[in-house]
Structure 1
Amino acid sequence: MVQAVQRAARILRELATSGPRLGVTELADRMGVAKPTAHALLRTLEAEGLVVQDRESAKYQLGPDLVLLGNAYLDTQELRTRSVTWADLLATQSGEAVWVAVLNGDHMLVVHHAFRPEGAVQILEVGASIPWSTCALGKAVVAFAPEEERERLLSAALAVLTGASITDAGALGEQLDQARRLGYAVEDQESALGDAGIAAPVFDRSGGVAGAIGVVGPVERLLADPAGQGARQEPRQELAVAVRETARSLSRDLGAPRGTARRAGA
């Protein structure tokens, strides 16, 4: 690897996760490099529009050209492009918000967000990064990932975002096995208290898992016991079926081989 490029990428990540603004000395200390080295890297990134320097504090923050790069990634992300229509249909059918995400390291990156058709003001979550183990989207993907990748992710430290986050690899592995059998995964307040999710894997033309699509919303709507819901039109099982069928349709749209999309919850 080219060390200068690696260090420049490290600066961008530090500003993204530890910012919003950091000084040259702070960045040098975090990276374990000399201050002149950090300063030279920052000036180069600034010239390219990837970081900007605040005039009052002289500290650095992420620059506007990163937005262009991020949008370019989304525009060329085939899963996102193909999912727009299917996500809108699922949102209309379920009455819930729909997220589409891909695995990025040990996090799920949200690449598309279809708003809930009716409700309060909603915040666009495209670009959100969520630990894979705390969301239904991540569980759906890892449940169908190659065994080596699944074991790598399960053996690493599992994130804790709420008291309901699962930190036991054995218990999480059992959830992944169940998701593989049913064709969908569930999250119960593991990312944020009061929120839940139901997601299913999406496969590409190679037959591998490309990402996941799922509904997200208040736990009382998504995971309430259907037996006590009376005339409620979208109990948990109906939502799960709708998510799974949408994922299958999206998989076919991505060119998944015949039978691949059906293996998720046959």
Structure 2
Amino acid sequence: MNPARLDRAFKILEYLGHHQEGAALKRICEDLEVPMSSAHDLMHALVQLGAVRLADQRTYLLGPRSLVLALSIVDAVDLRQVSRPYLTDLCEELNENTYLALRSGNIVTYADRYEAGQTLSVVMKLGGARPLHGSSVGKLITAYNPDLEERVLGSADLERFTPFTHVDREVLRQEFAAIRTRAYSVSDGESVEGIIGLSTPVFDATGTVGAAVHVSAPRGRLAPERLPEVLAAMSRTSASISAQLGAPAEVIAAKSPSDVLALERERLGSTPGSS
């Protein structure tokens, strides 16, 4: 099989992976701009190999061999290993401690940490649960997961960690929506006074956010004029990790410093309790 034909086969499998309901050959060819004649023979070969199956006479879906391979790949991917070089580079670029945060059930924890050479630094404990409503990583992962958002907004009691912790459910609802729009989260003294936490989303191959890139530092080192640079660098890091995990291209969108500057002007003008 020549490289062009092999590439076409991978594109078809990737397409079916994003269309779990299946698709007709004509639609596949139109969306991928593949000639029907060559796609027909290729699809027939994929069906014979078990990589694709026919649900009926017209609808193609991923076959058992593709599903087994996909699960094997997922099992082989260690998120910490994938993210390590990117978080290390980010740590060196910003000279701030960088973290990988993960969702585990209904909690969010720090799973990995890379320490900079700052004399005064914020060292977050690995493995400890972070508040879903009072930390940047908690708010970010909650914002991208409807079940967690429902859990937070339906909670009978939201703990106030500092005077700046948001415990008003309508304020939190607006905050979660704003985080999805911005594609980053900021915690300004909400869990620890004087500390700013920043988080950007890591998408997996299904487009789900179950992890985040995180930076925490004293407010003096993350002044408003520096945030666009820092958040843009974090956004690039998250986008690179997401791409390595096979995230859909449409959900990966790194922010530029000018993008963040505009978003920060809006956030600081509208976020209750910001300072």
Q: In structure 2, what is the equivalent of residue 238 of structure 1?
A: 229
Residues 180 and 123 of structure 1: CA distance in aligned 2, closer, same or farther (over 3 Å): closer
Q: Which has the larger radius of gyration?
A: 2
Q: In structure 2, what is the equivalent of residue 153 of structure 1?
A: 152
Q: In structure 2, what is the equivalent of residue 20 of structure 1?
A: none
Q: In structure 1, what is the equivalent of residue 140 of structure 2?
A: 140
State how far apart, in whole Å, the 1-side matches of 2:89 and 2:181 are. 25
> Secondary structure of the residue that 2:253 maps to in structure 1?
helix
State how far apart, in whole Å, the 2-side matches of 1:188 and 1:77 are. 33
Residues 121 and 148 of structure 1: CA distance in aligned 2, closer, same or farther (over 3 Å): closer
Q: In structure 1, what is the equivalent of residue 210 of structure 2?
A: 210
| Mapping of residues 1-266 of structure 1, within 5 Å | 78-120=78-120, 123=123, 125-145=125-145, 147-156=146-155, 157-222=157-222, 224-226=223-225, 235-262=226-253
- Give 1:239's aligned amino acid: V
- Give 2:142's aligned amino acid: V
What displacement does 1:101 show? 0.9
Deviations 1:98-133 (A, max 9, x none): 111112344321101111233247756221221121
Number of residue pairs matched by the alignment? 182
**RMSD in angstroms over aligned alpha carbons?**
2.5
State how far apart, in whole Å, the 2-side matches of 1:134 and 1:77 are. 30
What displacement does 1:264 show? 8.4
Q: TM-score, normalised by structure 2?
A: 0.60
What displacement does 1:255 show? 1.3
Q: Given that residues 188 and 197 in structure 2 are in contact (C-alpha distance below 8 angstroms), is that contact kept between their aligned partners in structure 1?
A: yes
Residues 225 and 82 of structure 1: CA distance in aligned 2, closer, same or farther (over 3 Å): same
State how far apart, in whole Å, the 2-side matches of 1:132 and 1:121 are. 23
Q: Given that residues 184 and 264 in structure 1 are in contact (C-alpha distance below 8 angstroms), is that contact kept between their aligned partners in structure 2?
A: no
State how far apart, in whole Å, the 2-side matches of 1:122 and 1:148 are. 30
Identity of aligned residues (%): 27
Give the gaps of 5 or more residues in structure 1: 1-75, 227-234
- Give 1:149's aligned amino acid: L
> Secondary structure of the residue that 1:81 maps to in structure 2?
helix
Give the gaps of 5 or more residues in structure 2: 1-75, 260-275
- Give 1:210's aligned amino acid: G
Q: Which moved more, 1:128-137 or 1:154-163?
A: 154-163
Residues 178 and 264 of structure 1: CA distance in aligned 2, closer, same or farther (over 3 Å): farther
Residues 91 and 82 of structure 1: CA distance in aligned 2, closer, same or farther (over 3 Å): same
What displacement does 1:243 show? 1.1
Q: TM-score, normalised by structure 1?
A: 0.62
State how far apart, in whole Å, the 2-side matches of 1:160 and 1:250 are. 33
Q: Given that residues 100 and 214 in structure 1 are in contact (C-alpha distance below 8 angstroms), is that contact kept between their aligned partners in structure 2?
A: yes
What displacement does 1:84 show? 1.3
